[in-house]
Amino acid sequence: QLELAESGGGSAQAGGSLRLSCAATGDRYAMYCLSWFRQAPGKERKGIAYIDSEGNTKYEDSVAGRFTISRDNAKNTLILQMNTLKSEDTAMYYCAARWPCPTEQSIFIQYVYHTWGQGTQVTVSS
């Protein structure tokens, strides 16, 4: 079982960039499939980026082309590079892990993930 801890959130201007990190402790990190979710006030938590154990990635349409998910298995770290930020990116961001990996149809469904970080706030001002 992993433990996850996000960092790197903060404030940015629209059009700017932020880089989120998710540090993991525990065994067999490289086997886990990992995702980033976000939750805006009054809205449901939504999956936005996914990476499997082989490094294959998927993105939700609203962030595709602007955000990049990556992982460093040597450092047990998950990264979300966020560029061209918009005000609608304002949310609490969470990393999540699952092993065995979810089906392709469920990668952005929060209930399939059993391990979560505590979240980091991102605020984008226009």
H helices of the chain, in order, are none
Predicted pLDDT at 32 = 97
CA 2 to chain centre: 15
Torsion angle defined by CA atoms of residues 108, 112, 117 and 122, in that order, rounded to the nearest 10 degrees: 20
Q: Identify which of 38, 62, 58, 61 has the alpha carbon closest to the alpha carbon of residue 50.
A: 58
In the block, residue with structure tokens 């294959």: 56
For residue 1, is pLDDT > 90?
Answer: no
Sign of CA dihedral 35, 74, 65, 54: negative
Residue 78 has pLDDT above 90, yes or no: yes
pLDDT tens across 82-123, in order? Answer: 999 999 999 999 999 999 999 999 999 999 999 999 999 999
Please tell me the predicted confidence (pLDDT) of residue 10. 97
Q: CA-CA distance, 93 to 80, in Å (whole number)? A: 10
